[in-house]
């Protein structure tokens, strides 16, 4: 065989035995260092094993580890969509918290399709993560609910944990924030500022926590609130504002959108219609996403402490804690909703 042929031939993967031989230790010792073990290894041996692994380019076989342990060092996050600023921020916070425990977070996106959510959970069971976290709102009348519960129960029977974030439509441990109370308190504060006519932009998709925000705002608002249910997106909010009749638009004092993303879409629509913010129309949202730092005027919203939500979620995913936990959410009044001058 020619030298050129040898250069292009695939190389044998580096094994744990190769690392142990290079480090001059036994294979069990190398395994305890690289694969994790409750038994301690002397620092001198640990250093030699890690140096040998680095020199040889060795990486642990995660699939084999999962089989041996019955689980992997992974938390599987099933999320509605990663392009939404709220969900991307949530995923980032979960990764930060998981890192503290030596865990990794894998992400699967449902695109708000209940059939896809069910399929993903079935696939994840085979990957043996330590926990499955379902983030994002559940449906007011969840389709395939019984099938999803059955799949998650099977996962729990094999030692996995299930944690929900901001949804109460399934009978599992839940970390949530008070959507209803957050929106109600915001509405009460805006009423105190003098607002009496509001347009509430809900979700055209029947999502439970989003409806809780609508209901909370209507309950806390002292004036007249008109509710609309556009497409649940930036584009949907903008399109709805652009379609309003001139008379209705002129009568608006305030637009409350159930997410900051939709609030930003509403702002775009109002500017398309030539309305000045906040001089002619005030706008408020919900979530307090990090990208609001660049918005002018600064957007009034309800702050959701995602760092606390992530901390609670990871702790429950690893240790378990029966019952639910509600993390407080509170209004933040900013320049987009100044006091009304009549």
pLDDT < 50 stretches in the chain? 1-5, 38, 66-70
Residues 198 and 239 in one domain: yes
Residues 46 and 79 in one domain: no
- Say if 336 falls within a structural domain: no
Beta-bridged to residue 300, according to DSSP, are 284
Name the residue range of residue 17's domain.
3-60
Residue 342: Cβ-neighbour burial (10 angstroms; 0-12, 13-18, 19+):
exposed
Residues 191 and 209 in one domain: yes
Q: What confidence score (pLDDT) does residue 36 get? A: 59
Q: Are 257 and 266 in contact (CB under 8 A)?
A: yes
Q: How many domains does the chain have?
A: 3
Q: Are 285 and 237 in contact (CB under 8 A)?
A: no
| Distances 295 to 240, 284, 336 between C-alpha atoms, Å | 21, 12, 10
Q: What confidence score (pLDDT) does residue 67 get? A: 45
Residues 296 and 183 in one domain: yes
* Cα pseudo-dihedral 74, 76, 77, 82, rounded to 10: 90
Rounded distance between C-alpha atoms, residue 4 and residue 196, angstroms: 80
CATH number of the domain at 257, please: 3.40.50.2300
Residues 239 and 212 in one domain: yes
Residues 163 and 192 in one domain: no
- Say if 334 falls within a structural domain: no
Q: What confidence score (pLDDT) does residue 101 get? A: 85
DSSP code of 24? Answer: T
């Amino acid at each position: 065989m020619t030298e050129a042929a040898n250069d292009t031939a695939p190389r044998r993967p580096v094994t744990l035995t190769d690392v142990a031989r290079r480090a001059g230790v036994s294979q069990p010792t190398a395994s305890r260092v690289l694969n994790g073990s409750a038994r301690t290894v002397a620092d001198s041996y640990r250093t030699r094993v890690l140096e040998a692994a680095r020199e040889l380019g060795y990486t642990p076989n995660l699939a084999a580890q999962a089989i041996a342990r019955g689980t992997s060092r992974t938390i599987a996050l099933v999320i509605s969509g990663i392009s939404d600023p709220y969900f991307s921020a949530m995923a980032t916070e979960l990764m930060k918290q998981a890192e503290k425990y030596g865990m990794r977070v894998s992400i699967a996106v449902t695109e708000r399709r209940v059939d896809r959510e069910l399929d993903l959970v079935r696939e994840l069971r085979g990957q043996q993560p330590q926990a499955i976290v379902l983030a994002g709102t559940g449906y007011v009348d969840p389709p395939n609910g019984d099938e999803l519960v059955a799949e998650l129960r099977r996962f729990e029977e094999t030692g996995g944990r299930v944690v929900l974030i901001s949804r109460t439509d399934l009978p599992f441990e839940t970390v949530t924030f008070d959507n209803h109370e957050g929106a109600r308190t915001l509405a009460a504060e805006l009423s105190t500022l003098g607002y009496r006519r509001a347009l509430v932009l809900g979700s055209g998709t029947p999502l439970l926590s989003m409806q809780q925000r609508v209901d909370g705002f209507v309950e806390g608002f002292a004036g007249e609130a008109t509710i609309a249910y556009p497409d649940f997106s930036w584009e949907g909010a903008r399109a709805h504002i652009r379609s309003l009749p001139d008379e209705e638009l002129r009568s608006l004092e305030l637009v409350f959108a159930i997410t900051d993303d939709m609030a930003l879409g509403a702002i775009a629509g109002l500017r398309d219609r030539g309305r000045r913010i906040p001089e002619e129309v005030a706008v408020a949202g919900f979530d307090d996403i990090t990208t609001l730092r660049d918005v002018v005027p600064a957007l009034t919203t309800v702050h959701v402490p995602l760092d606390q939500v992530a901390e609670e979620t990871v702790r429950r995913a690893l240790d378990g804690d029966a019952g639910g936990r509600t993390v407080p959410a509170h209004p933040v009044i900013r320049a987009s909703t100044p006091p009304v001058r009549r």
